Amino acid sequence: MRLTMRLKTMAALVLGAALIAGSAPAMAQSASTPSFFSFFPRPSNFGNGPVKGTSSIRRQTVAYNGPYKPGTIVVNTAERRLYLVQDNGTALKYGIGVGRDGFRWGGIKTITRKAEWPGWTPPPQMLQRRPDLPRYMPGGIDNPLGARAMYLGSTLYRIHGSNEPETIGQAVSSGCFRMTNDDVTDLYDRVKVGTTVVVLN
């Protein structure tokens, strides 16, 4: 009886040691292996947070003492920011996407037309570069012009929204100025046809 008990005790100790030894590599591996949740990180736009890529270029009010009168839109291409001059020594500052190399420009234009959820017809020059593009795309959430567009003079350029908010702050367009849909809607509601737009390149 005593021998049997001793054998059972030894067997239990051997089994326990084997289990501990077997679990050690797994424990070491778990320390260096990403957990389940690391494959599903909390998104940067969770809750009321900013859209990814735009956290540093949120719309804000800044001091302004420049030469342009209230109501003027000033686009600083190098800074990739758009300013709407206010009448109290301030300006509203928005992040924008600008033209890539070879497509940036400067000058003074006026807003000649405004449109909500505009349709998009790629110009012939763009179709030559991108023959895969549709000849026309109706307005909507997938349209590259986004929620609003403000047309500049008689050019093909616009200040418009975007279905790619991650590109705001980058030089990616064919000369237009992109904004988030939220920002372009805010700007659209503040300006009218005839507004002066100064583009500093």
Calpha distance 170→76 (Å, rounded): 13
When computed from its CA atoms, the radius of gyration of the chain, rounded to whole angstroms, is 29
68: which 2 tokens? 């342009």
| Beta-strand relationship, 107-116 and 148-152 | antiparallel
Judge contact between 182 and 58, C-beta under 8 A. Answer: no
Nearest alpha-carbon partner for 59 in 154, 186, 166: 186
Catalytic residue among 57, 82, 176, 199: 176
Catalytic residue among 80, 109, 158, 160: 160
194: which 2 tokens? 């005839």
Judge contact between 85 and 91, C-beta under 8 A. Answer: yes
176 labelled catalytic: yes
Give catalytic residues, as residue numbers.
160, 176
